[in-house]
């Protein structure tokens, strides 16, 4: 009787595991960077790195661009609930479409970023931001963190994936 050989296909796996692994790496890098910055800086302290980039310890009680940050505190729970809901929906989508590589990369990055910021909201009541880009004459872009970066990269990949799909 002939033994069947296992062959390794170049097709992407239908497993959820690699995508959750990517999200976990984002969460780990995000949380380690936030722990490091809070140990090295006092609130509001900044370190000039280049003529367009600083490290600064900032807190954001709101959402992107400090949306609703000046509210009385309800936004902490609101944005935490949105983050958890989004994470659950993304896990559902990853399970359903685990073989679509670019789509899942996008979702995994967004998932890791969302959970990274939810951890901050639960632990501290605000999101820790520290990356501060600025341009002479234009001012400072709102400070952000690795989780925010992963969400933006994921969103860009998601748009690129959709544009590729439309063009096929």
The DSSP bridge pattern shows strands 46-48 and 139-140 to be unpaired
The secondary structure of the chain in percent helix, strand, coil, rounded to multiples of 5, reads 55, 15, 30
**Residues with catalytic roles:** 129, 148
Can you tell me the distance from the alpha carbon of 115 to that of 113, in angstroms, rounded to the nearest whole number? Answer: 6
Provide the β-strand partners of residue 47.
Answer: 55
Beta strands, E only, the chain: 46-48, 53-60, 127-135, 139-140
Q: At what angle do helices 146-167 and 101-124 cross, to 10 degrees?
A: 150
Can you tell me the distance from the alpha carbon of 126 to that of 73, in angstroms, rounded to the nearest whole number? Answer: 10
């Amino acid at each position: 009787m002939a033994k069947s050989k296992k062959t390794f296909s170049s097709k992407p796996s239908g497993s959820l595991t690699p995508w959750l692994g990517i999200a976990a790496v984002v969460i780990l890098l995000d949380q380690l960077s936030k722990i490091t910055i809070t140990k090295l800086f006092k609130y509001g302290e900044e370190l000039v790195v280049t003529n367009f980039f600083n490290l600064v310890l900032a807190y954001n009680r709101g959402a992107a661009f400090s949306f609703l940050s000046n509210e009385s505190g309800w936004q902490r729970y609101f944005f935490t609930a949105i983050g958890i809901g989004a994470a659950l929906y993304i896990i559902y989508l990853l399970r359903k479409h685990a073989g679509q590589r670019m789509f899942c990369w996008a979702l995994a990055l967004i998932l890791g970023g969302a959970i990274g910021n939810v951890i901050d909201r639960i632990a501290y009541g605000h999101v820790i931001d520290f990356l501060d880009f600025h341009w002479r004459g234009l001012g400072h872009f709102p400070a952000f963190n690795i989780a925010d970066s992963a969400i933006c990269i994921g969103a860009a990949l998601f748009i690129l994936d959709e544009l590729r799909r439309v063009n096929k």
